[in-house]
Amino acid sequence: ISFNSVDSSLSSLKNCQSYINTGMEIATHVALDLVESFNDVEDVNSMENVMLEYAAMDRELNHYMTAIEETVNQIKREKPENIPDLKYLVNEKFTALESNNTDSDLQKNEKYIYFKDQVKDMRKQFCHQSDNDNEAIEQIDEDIAVTQSQMNFICPITQMEMKRPVRNKVCGHTYEEDAILKIIQTRKQQKKKVRCPKIGCSHADVKGSDLVPDEALKRAIDSQNKQ
């Protein structure tokens, strides 16, 4: 049995997945723009709903691709004399996978988690509230002062202000992207692990796959430099 057409379909589905990822990245950037430009809460919540819809599409697409791959592998193992009904078998496996869906699945989506973290950090950097709530504004002014005094824009590797900060998903520390990637590459060639360069951090195995752009921090640095 030739599976060339199936492989072609899987390739198309993976392209669709890249479109979903791009959509989630755009939604995250829009949400950060909204926080930075004072249009907070309701508009950001609408972006969060968009992220959850994308996460649902991503889950459904993953399940469908898994169902196809499992069906093809099963046929290759069993080598039936007659060509089975591929569509029926795929739909059967897909339905079984979808039956286990829960709302919490969507909140575990990696890009959704990133969205939540970045919006939270962005609100710390650019705290805005309704003008109607004077007490809240006074409290936020104090919080901003504390946040800004504690804010560290300096890379622990270069000891210079970061231009493209990336955050380690494991320990939460940030570094200049080029600097940390250079260390990872050098240590890889030496077949050694990379300890987090932040003083006092016990994380001893920094990987490139653990690094994500810290858009909220970058915007805070850019904002300060404009002032």
pLDDT in tens, 61-71: 999 999 999 99
The answer to whether the CB of 55 falls within 8 A of the CB of 111 is yes
pLDDT at 144: 52
On whether residue 145 sits in a domain, the answer given is no
Confidence of residue 127 (pLDDT cuts 50, 70, 90): low
**Do 169 and 105 lie in a common domain?**
no
**Do 217 and 110 lie in a common domain?**
no
- pLDDT tens for each residue of 98-117: 999 998 999 999 999 999 99
Full residue range of the structural domain in which residue 16 is found: 3-126
**Do 21 and 109 lie in a common domain?**
yes
Q: What is the mean pLDDT of the chain?
A: 86
Report the first-to-last Cα separation within the chain, whole angstroms: 66
Confidence of residue 146 (pLDDT cuts 50, 70, 90): very low
Across 115-135, average pLDDT: 70
Q: Report the distance separating Cα 98 and Cα 82, nearest Å.
A: 28
- pLDDT tens for each residue of 5-50: 888 888 899 999 999 999 999 999 999 999 888 766 888 999 999 9
On whether residue 21 sits in a domain, the answer given is yes
pLDDT at 56: 96
**Do 111 and 221 lie in a common domain?**
no
On whether residue 140 sits in a domain, the answer given is no
**Do 43 and 113 lie in a common domain?**
yes
For the chain, the domain total comes to 2
pLDDT at 41: 80
On whether residue 155 sits in a domain, the answer given is no
Residue that finishes a domain, picked among 109, 126, 143: 126
- pLDDT tens for each residue of 198-219: 999 999 999 999 999 999 999 9
Residue that finishes a domain, picked among 78, 111, 126: 126
Out of 27-31, 132-136, 190-194, least confident range: 132-136
Q: Report the distance separating Cα 39 and Cα 104, nearest Å.
A: 28
Q: Report the distance separating Cα 155 and Cα 153, nearest Å.
A: 7
